[in-house]
């Protein structure tokens, strides 16, 4: 073929191919995601350019991606009707590393190697066209750009330093527009050419690519055919064979044939207008995507525009899968331009205390080859994270405001601990977390109350929010510290969950009212009578000294108290010391 020309790869390309093949061997299936996303990109480009250059669309073919498999020969072909590549573009795109995405991959790969990172991490990267060589001995790219009247063929082999380009001359192989990739699979990877395997991979990785993806599938339908009855059988039944009419019988047979089958949902649910999606559809999507059997407690579907553009649907599960706060889950599926990227990035998109939130996030601003490292550094991600967190809180607040009180009780039972952890770990969201907290109190031992309910119930002269931490409602109820407050009809929060007290201490105040521990030394109920206190102090000064002497180091000091009404004495913590409850907690931890 005189048009066939040989080219050397740019040095980096050879190195990249080498790296890909050696670092991704356990993650080979990513090749399909990469090639489909290239096809999808090519269609996107054409769709975009076609708006201003309609002559690019002169071939009347649909925008789609078709994947055919030949399992006997181990061949996969992926055909798109996108923008295609001219001869020069084949050289530029497939022989050099021109685009930043792949360069970033190289750098990140190098960094992660140096940091000794798990090579599985690399599976999260977009590795681009060369990932085809993960599974192929030979790759043939035949492409027809609408800007050129000829179709050209790029051909490369694994472990080679050069590739060839020639004109497509076989009339059978001419395509109206776009690109056809033919992968000649390695001996050990031929199983990828099974139609069901490809179908599953498409469903898993590219279900929400916005162009239709068809796979070539074997189908069958049953039909009834007339068959002659077996003469031997007829003889037995009929007896006298001379008079037996030849009976006709019908039999069901399966007729096999091959056809294209649409394999993806072309319109992902999050791209639809929330007004047009029913609750049932959200619930179905949730259950299907996250393998849940119960409907979610709440969902939130939103789009953000402006500075950073993304779409998302978030869900609050109705059940908690683990007993402990679950930090390592696969709850957030990240898409970039509808291509599934990973479900392993939720730590970057949500703080860990909100890790129970499930959902999908689809960004138009992130690169397809986004990695954890890129996410961590990205300003876009910081903005996304902020918005996602806000939406999650709105959703939870929605549950708490629902008429059905059971829903929030369920939520609190499952994820209350997470919100308390949020008080400790996320000071910037205290305003959002605090109204969602629930506690028992001296006036509500059976039903949890919110801080708003507490504040509403405060007495006119009451300045602070009072609490007592204890290991049970009974010990909270029986503590002598309560006496004066009950006398004054002040409500006291009973912090009986070990995390309650730490959460409250982190909040410090709610609606300008301080949280005050009634077991601490300097409790001031705002009813001091200085004259009287002075008198009493003088009267009992010697008694206090005497008790202190007797107890020695066991107590820091012995003082006259004005906070008891019926108990003779009480042990309190110093103002800056640990509360009795905290001491109990610390002891439990060190044991
Ligand atoms: P990236 O997609 O990050 O740019 P790839 O290695 O996946 O990197 O692809 C390299 C380039 O090759 C693409 O940018 C594109 O220009 C070109 N290309 C790859 N596949 C196709 C295709 N199916 N149709 C048109 N161009 C393609
Ligand atoms: Mg690509």
H, E, C per residue of 10-55: CHHHHHHHHHHHHHCHHHCCHHHHHHHHHHHHHHHHHHHHHHHCHH
The residue among 329 and 547 whose pLDDT is bigger is 547
Confidence of residue 146 (pLDDT cuts 50, 70, 90): very high
DSSP, res 387:
H
Confidence of residue 250 (pLDDT cuts 50, 70, 90): confident
pLDDT at position 411 over 60:
yes
Q: Is any ligand 1 atom within 6 A of the Cβ of residue 101?
A: yes
How many angstroms separate the alpha carbon of residue 555 from the centre of ligand 2? 71
At 226 the pLDDT is 84
At 104 the pLDDT is 56
Confidence of residue 325 (pLDDT cuts 50, 70, 90): very low
Task: Point out the ligand nearest to the CA of residue 89.
Answer: 1
Neighbours of 110 (CB within 10 A): 11
Task: Point out the ligand nearest to the CA of residue 37.
Answer: 2
- For atom 1 of ligand 1, which residue has the closest CA? 128
How many angstroms separate the alpha carbon of residue 71 from the centre of ligand 2? 25
Contact 33, 205 (CB under 8 A): yes
How many angstroms separate the alpha carbon of residue 93 from the centre of ligand 1? 6
- For atom 4 of ligand 1, which residue has the closest CA? 99
At 204 the pLDDT is 76
Q: Is any ligand 1 atom within 6 A of the Cβ of residue 360?
A: no
Q: Give me the residues paired with residue 167 across strands.
A: 152
- 444-462 pLDDT tens trace: 999 999 999 999 999 998 9
Compute the average pLDDT of residues 371-398.
91
At 119 the pLDDT is 41
Tell me the pTM: 0.58
Q: Is any ligand 1 atom within 6 A of the Cβ of residue 74?
A: no
Q: Is any ligand 1 atom within 6 A of the Cβ of residue 129?
A: yes
How many angstroms separate the alpha carbon of residue 19 from the centre of ligand 2? 16
Q: Is any ligand 1 atom within 6 A of the Cβ of residue 13?
A: no
How many angstroms separate the alpha carbon of residue 39 from the centre of ligand 2? 8
Q: How far apart are CA 511 and CA 513, in angstroms?
A: 5
Confidence of residue 375 (pLDDT cuts 50, 70, 90): confident
pLDDT at position 301 over 70:
yes
Contact 124, 341 (CB under 8 A): yes
pLDDT at position 326 over 80:
no
- 550-579 pLDDT tens trace: 988 888 888 887 767 777 787 777 766 667
Please choose from 79, 90, 93 the residue to mutate so as to test ligand 1's pocket, defined by most ligand atoms within 8 A of CB: 93
pLDDT at position 368 over 60:
yes
How many angstroms separate the alpha carbon of residue 38 from the centre of ligand 1? 5
Neighbours of 221 (CB within 10 A): 9
pLDDT at position 2 over 90:
no
Distances (CA, A) of 187 to 21, 72, 129, 182, 419: 15, 11, 20, 15, 53
Q: Is any ligand 1 atom within 6 A of the Cβ of residue 102?
A: yes
The residue among 444 and 338 whose pLDDT is bigger is 444
Q: Is any ligand 1 atom within 6 A of the Cβ of residue 30?
A: no
Closest atom, ligand 1, to C-alpha of 367: 3
Residues 6+ apart with CB under 8 A from 188: none
Q: How far apart are CA 390 and CA 591, in angstroms?
A: 39
Confidence of residue 143 (pLDDT cuts 50, 70, 90): very high
- For atom 18 of ligand 1, which residue has the closest CA? 38
- For atom 10 of ligand 1, which residue has the closest CA? 93
Residues 6+ apart with CB under 8 A from 302: 274, 311, 312, 313, 391
- For atom 11 of ligand 1, which residue has the closest CA? 93
At 140 the pLDDT is 98
Q: Give me the residues paired with residue 226 across strands.
A: 250
Q: Is any ligand 1 atom within 6 A of the Cβ of residue 99?
A: yes
How many angstroms separate the alpha carbon of residue 83 from the centre of ligand 1? 10
Q: Is any ligand 1 atom within 6 A of the Cβ of residue 90?
A: no
- For atom 5 of ligand 1, which residue has the closest CA? 128
Q: Is any ligand 1 atom within 6 A of the Cβ of residue 38?
A: yes
Q: Is any ligand 1 atom within 6 A of the Cβ of residue 20?
A: no
Q: Is any ligand 1 atom within 6 A of the Cβ of residue 179?
A: yes
Compute the average pLDDT of residues 6-24.
83
Q: Please state, for a pLDDT cut of 70, what percent of the chain lies above it.
A: 85
Q: Is the Cα dihedral 322, 325, 326, 332 positive or negative?
A: positive
Burial 522-555 (b: 16+ CB within 10 A, else e): ebebeeeeeeeeeeeeeeeeeeeeeeeeeeeeee
How many angstroms separate the alpha carbon of residue 379 from the centre of ligand 1? 26
Task: Point out the ligand nearest to the CA of residue 132.
Answer: 1
Closest atom, ligand 1, to C-alpha of 39: 23
How many angstroms separate the alpha carbon of residue 181 from the centre of ligand 1? 12
Average model confidence (pLDDT) across the chain: 85
pLDDT at position 243 over 60:
no
- 49-93 pLDDT tens trace: 887 789 999 998 999 999 999 999 999 999 999 999 999 999 988
Pair type for strands 492-495 and 439-441: antiparallel
Compute the average pLDDT of residues 315-320.
92
Neighbours of 276 (CB within 10 A): 8
Please choose from 13, 126, 129 the residue to mutate so as to test ligand 1's pocket, defined by most ligand atoms within 8 A of CB: 129
Compute the average pLDDT of residues 264-276.
88
């Amino acid at each position: 073929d005189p048009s066939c020309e040989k080219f050397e790869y740019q040095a980096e390309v050879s190195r990249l191919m080498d790296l890909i093949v050696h670092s991704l061997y356990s993650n080979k299936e990513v090749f399909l995601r990469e090639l489909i996303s290239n096809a999808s990109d090519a269609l996107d480009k054409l769709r975009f350019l076609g708006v201003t250059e309609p002559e690019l669309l002169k071939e009347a073919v649909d925008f789609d991606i078709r994947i055919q498999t030949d399992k006997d020969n181990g061949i996969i072909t992926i055909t798109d009707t996108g923008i295609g590549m001219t001869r020069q573009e084949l050289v530029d795109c497939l022989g050099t590393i021109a685009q930043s995405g792949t360069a970033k991959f190289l750098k990140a790969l190098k960094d992660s190697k140096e940091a000794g990172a798990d090579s599985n991490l690399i599976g999260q990267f977009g590795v681009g066209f060369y990932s085809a060589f993960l599974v192929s001995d030979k790759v043939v790219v035949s492409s027809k750009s609408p800007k050129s009247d000829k179709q050209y063929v790029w051909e490369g082999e694994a472990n080679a330093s050069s590739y060839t380009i020639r004109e497509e001359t076989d009339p059978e192989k001419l395509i109206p527009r776009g690109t056809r990739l033919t992968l000649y699979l390695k001996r050990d990877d031929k199983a990828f050419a099974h139609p069901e395997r490809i179908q599953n991979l498409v469903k898993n990785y590219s279900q929400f690519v916005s162009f239709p993806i068809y796979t070539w599938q074997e189908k069958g339908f049953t039909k009834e055919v007339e068959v002659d009855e077996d003469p031997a059988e007829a003889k037995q039944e009929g007896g006298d064979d001379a008079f037996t009419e030849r009976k006709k019988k019908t039999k069901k047979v399966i007729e096999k044939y091959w056809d294209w089958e649409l394999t993806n949902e072309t319109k992902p649910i999050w791209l639809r207008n929330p007004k047009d999606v029913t609750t049932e559809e959200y619930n179905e999507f949730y259950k299907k995507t996250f393998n849940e059997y119960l409907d979610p407690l709440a969902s939130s579907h939103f789009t953000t525009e402006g500075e950073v553009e993304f779409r998302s649907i978030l869900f609050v599960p109705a059940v908690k899968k683990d007993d402990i706060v679950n930090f390592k889950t696969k709850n957030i599926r990240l898409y970039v331009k509808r291509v599934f990227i990973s479900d392993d990035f939720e730590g970057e998109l949500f703080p860990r205390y909100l890790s129970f939130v499930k959902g999908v996030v689809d960004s138009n601003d992130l690169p397809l080859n986004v990695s954890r490292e890129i996410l961590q550094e990205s300003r876009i991600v910081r903005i996304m994270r902020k918005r996602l967190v806000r939406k999650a809180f709105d959703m939870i607040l929605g549950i708490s405001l629902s008429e059905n009180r059971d829903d929030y009780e369920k939520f609190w039972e499952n994820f209350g601990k997470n919100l308390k952890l949020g008080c400790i770990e996320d000071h910037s969201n205290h305003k959002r977390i605090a109204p969602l907290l629930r506690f028992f109190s001296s006036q509500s031992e059976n039903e949890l109350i919110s801080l708003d309910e507490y504040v509403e119930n405060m007495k006119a002269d009451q300045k602070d929010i009072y609490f007592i931490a204890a290991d049970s409602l009974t010990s909270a109820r029986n503590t002598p510290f309560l006496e004066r407050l009950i006398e004054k009809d002040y409500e006291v929060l009973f912090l009986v969950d070990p995390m309650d007290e730490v959460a409250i201490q982190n909040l410090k105040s709610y609606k300008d009212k301080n949280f005050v521990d009634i077991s601490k030394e300097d409790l001031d109920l705002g009813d001091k009578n200085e004259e009287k206190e002075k008198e009493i102090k003088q009267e009992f000064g010697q008694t206090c000294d005497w008790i202190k002497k007797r107890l020695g180091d066991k107590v820091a000091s012995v003082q006259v108290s004005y906070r008891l009404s019926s108990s003779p004495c009480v042990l309190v913590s110093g103002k800056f010391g640990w509360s009795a409850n905290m001491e109990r907690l610390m002891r439990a931890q060190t044991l």
